[in-house]
Amino acid sequence: MNFDTIIPRNGTGSIKWDRRPELDPFWVADMDFTSPQCVIDAVQERVNHGVFGYANAHDSLNQALTEYLTTRHNVTINHAHIIHLGGLVVALSLVARAFLNKGEAVMTCSPVYPPFLGVAEDAQAETIAVPHTLTNGKYTFNWQAMEDAVTPKTKVFILCNPQNPLGRSFTKNEVTQVAEFCHKHNLTLVSDEIHCDLVFNEDTQPFFSALHLPNHLKQKLIVLQAPSKTYNIAGLGYAFAIIENDSTRRKFNQAKGHTLPEINCIAFYTAEAAYRHGEPWRQQLLTYLKKNRDTITNFIRQEMPYLTIPNIEATYLAWIDCSKLGLKNPALHLEKDAALFLSDGAYFGSPQHIRFNYGCPHQRVIEGLNKIKASFDKIISPHTPPS
């Protein structure tokens, strides 16, 4: 796979490229790469059948998922504990509706993927967002602030691990401490692990899934995963929940009501193909993304020292603190001054930050960084023409 190839995506119905076609997009979390050939073949094979009626998760998909969880994450799952879904955000909303009553609250830590801050509204409930803290280039939890913020009405905690947008892959100790916090306060713990196969140093620091927690911390645990970020198939709509506890699983399923469409018949086959055959491609992808990650980290630290970027352990998203520039909305500034489309940190709960999606050819990363520098340098040294 040649990740350097620039694939035009304008006019393909892409949110990233077609929402604001006049801008250079580095925002929404999909990548500008083709999916692995095994996924494309799976789409074609299913399309060739020509009949697209209602679909069911076929046995070999369930088998592929349990095998994937065992080989990649070293967890043994009963496939009866898997719930297939047409996406992961719908599961967050289901959790809100299943486990919250009007006036109760969800806790999460911010900045975080925006739907985490909004799903409580689906249950007419509140959101308590506790800021992560940055220490020695690493964001972590502010345990005391979490203790101070939790209320008797707090019923759910949503964890994002690996963290979007912070790029952390939380350690066993951190995940366990979150779970103990939830246990102590009787909260349902939702662990969104959609980025779990995009951890850079997984050989030395394997991803710690909440599925590894001891049994007493798993009674109210919902783990959410999907192949969509890793294999770049977000547009096909597929995710799955793993809920080991019967009563928690029943409550989750009951909240579905009539709110979810049937799952796309092609998505089931692409998920299976990705998990069964996508590993060599995933390895190449991680190598490529690591190079992009290093480029962006070094460039920002050396060429734009007035910005701050954390150490990125996972994902293809870089979280950049622009607060020293004094701009109210740096993403809007870049849009107007440099025709760039980056994610505005305000949606994640942290204004004056931007999120840069580097899941794209290296050449585009460099171009994007140069445009950001040219634009921000004018603010830092207004009288120096850019070199």
Q: Is 38 in the site for ligand PLP (CB under 6 A)?
A: no
Q: Is 271 in the site for ligand PLP (CB under 6 A)?
A: no
DSSP, res 261: P
CB of 266 to ligand PLP, least distance (A): 15
**Per-residue string for binding with ligand PLP, 140-179, x by CB under 6 A?**
--------------------x---x---------------
Please state, in angstroms and rounded to a whole number, the distance separating the CA atoms of residues 73 and 330. 38
**Per-residue string for binding with ligand PLP, 13-32, x by CB under 6 A?**
----------------x---
DSSP, res 46: H
The per-residue DSSP string of 65-114 comes to HHHHHHHHH-----GGGEEEES-SHHHHHHHHHHH--TT-EEEEEES--G
Judged by beta carbon, residue 113 or residue 181, the one nearer ligand PLP is: 113
Task: Judge if the upstream peptide bond of residue 382 is cis by omega within 30 degrees of 0.
Answer: no
Number of Cα atoms under 13 Å in the Cβ half of residue 205 = 14
Per rule CB under 6 A, count of chain residues that contact ligand PLP? 13
Sign of the CA dihedral with 117 first, then 122, 124, and 125 last: negative
CB of 30 to ligand PLP, least distance (A): 8
Q: Which of 38, 77, 88, 243 binds ligand PLP (CB under 6 A)?
A: 88
CB of 387 to ligand PLP, least distance (A): 35
Judged by beta carbon, residue 69 or residue 226, the one nearer ligand PLP is: 226
Q: Which of 3, 27, 68, 113 binds ligand PLP (CB under 6 A)?
A: 113
C-beta of residue 29 within 8 angstroms of C-beta of residue 234 = yes
Please state, in angstroms and rounded to a whole number, the distance separating the CA atoms of residues 149 and 83. 32
CB of 304 to ligand PLP, least distance (A): 25
Alpha helix segments (H runs only) across the chain? 15-18, 37-49, 59-73, 89-99, 143-149, 172-184, 246-254, 265-277, 279-303, 330-338, 362-380
Judged by beta carbon, residue 176 or residue 264, the one nearer ligand PLP is: 264
Cβ within 8 Å of residue 315, ≥6 positions away: 29, 162, 163, 164, 165, 167, 195, 198, 229
Q: Which of 39, 120, 226, 263 binds ligand PLP (CB under 6 A)?
A: 226
**Per-residue string for binding with ligand PLP, 237-256, x by CB under 6 A?**
--x-----------------
Q: Is 234 in the site for ligand PLP (CB under 6 A)?
A: yes
**Per-residue string for binding with ligand PLP, 280-309, x by CB under 6 A?**
------------------------------
Cβ within 8 Å of residue 367, ≥6 positions away: 24
Binding site for ligand PLP (CB under 6 A): 29, 87-89, 113, 160, 164, 192, 194, 226, 228, 234, 239
